[in-house]
Amino acid sequence: MEIKEDMKNNIIYKNIPTLELTKEQLEQCSKLFSENYGKYSEKSVIRPGERVKMGVSYYQKNYVKDNFSVALAIDKEEIIGQAFYIRKNYEKVGTMTWIVQLVVNKTYRKMGIASKLLRSIWGFSDDFAWGLATANPCTVKTLESATMRKCKPAIIEKHLKDISLIGKDIGFVKDGALEVDKHSSQVNSHFDVDNSSFEGKEEYENRLGKLRPGREWLAFTFREQGIYKSIYKSKFNRIIKFSEEQLRDAYSRMSMKNQKWASGQKNEIDYILSKINNSSKNLKIIDFGCGVGRHSLELAQKGFNVYGIDYSEDHIASAEKNASDKKITNTKFVCGDIRKFKGKSKYDLALCLYDVIGSYPDKRNNERILQIIYNSLEIGGFLALSVMNYELTDKIVPNKQKGKVKENPDLLLKLKPATIMQTTGDIFDPKYIVIDKDEHLIYRKEQFSNDGKLSAEYVIRDKRYTMKEIVEMLQKKGFKIVDKRYVRAGHFDEALEPSDAHAKEILIIAKK
Ligand X SMILES: C[S@@+](CC[C@H](N)C(=O)[O-])C[C@H]1O[C@@H](n2cnc3c(N)ncnc32)[C@H](O)[C@@H]1O
Q: Does 356 bind ligand X (CB under 6 A)?
A: yes
CB of 342 to ligand X, least distance (A): 13
Q: Does 389 bind ligand X (CB under 6 A)?
A: no
Side-chain-side CA neighbours of 62 within 13 Å: the count stands at: 18
CB of 124 to ligand X, least distance (A): 24
Please identify which residue in 28, 243, 359, 447 interacts with ligand X, judged by CB under 6 A.
359
Footprint on residues 214-273 left by ligand X (CB under 6 A): 251, 262
Please identify which residue in 355, 391, 462, 483 interacts with ligand X, judged by CB under 6 A.
355
How many CB atoms within 10 Å of residue 282? 9
Q: Does 383 bind ligand X (CB under 6 A)?
A: no
Cβ–Cβ under 8 Å, residues 406 and 430: no
Nearest to 187 by CA among 177, 175, 176: 177
Q: Does 294 bind ligand X (CB under 6 A)?
A: yes
Q: Output the residue with the shortest Cβ distance to ligand X.
A: 291
CB of 390 to ligand X, least distance (A): 16
CB of 336 to ligand X, least distance (A): 7
CB of 230 to ligand X, least distance (A): 35
Which range, of 32-40, 185-193, 277-285, 355-363, touches ligand X by CB under 6 A? 355-363
Strands 215-222, 129-134: pairing is antiparallel
Q: Which is nearer to ligand X, 155 or 489 (CB)?
A: 489
Phi, psi of 15 (to 5 degrees): -130, 125
Q: Which is nearer to ligand X, 106 or 257 (CB)?
A: 257
Residues constituting the chain: 512
Task: Write the CA distances from 457 to 150, 229, 247, integer angstroms.
Answer: 20, 18, 11
Footprint on residues 140-169 left by ligand X (CB under 6 A): none
How many CB atoms within 10 Å of residue 10? 10
Q: Does 290 bind ligand X (CB under 6 A)?
A: yes
Q: Which is nearer to ligand X, 251 or 347 (CB)?
A: 251
Phi, psi of 235 (to 5 degrees): -95, -10
Which range, of 31-39, 287-295, 325-333, 434-442, touches ligand X by CB under 6 A? 287-295
Q: Which is nearer to ligand X, 359 or 455 (CB)?
A: 359
Please state, in angstroms and rounded to a whole number, the distance separating the CA atoms of residues 474 and 255: 30
Q: Does 412 bind ligand X (CB under 6 A)?
A: no
Task: Write the CA distances from 122 to 79, 220, 306, 479, 481, integer angstroms.
Answer: 21, 11, 43, 47, 48
CB of 442 to ligand X, least distance (A): 14
**Number of residues forming the site for ligand X (CB under 6 A):** 18
The alpha carbon of 171 is separated from its chain's Cα centroid by a whole number of angstroms, namely 31
Question: Where are the strands (E) in 66-148, listed by range?
Answer: 68-75, 78-90, 94-104, 129-134
SS (H, E, C) 30-79: HHHHHHHCCEECCCCCCCCCCECCCCHHHHHHHCCCCCEEEEEEEECCEE
Which range, of 50-58, 143-151, 194-202, 354-362, touches ligand X by CB under 6 A? 354-362
Task: Write the CA distances from 333 to 298, 325, 336, integer angstroms.
Answer: 14, 15, 10
Footprint on residues 306-345 left by ligand X (CB under 6 A): 310-312, 315, 337-339
Q: Does 170 bind ligand X (CB under 6 A)?
A: no
Q: Which residues bind ligand X (CB under 6 A)?
A: 251, 262, 289-291, 294, 310-312, 315, 337-339, 353-356, 359
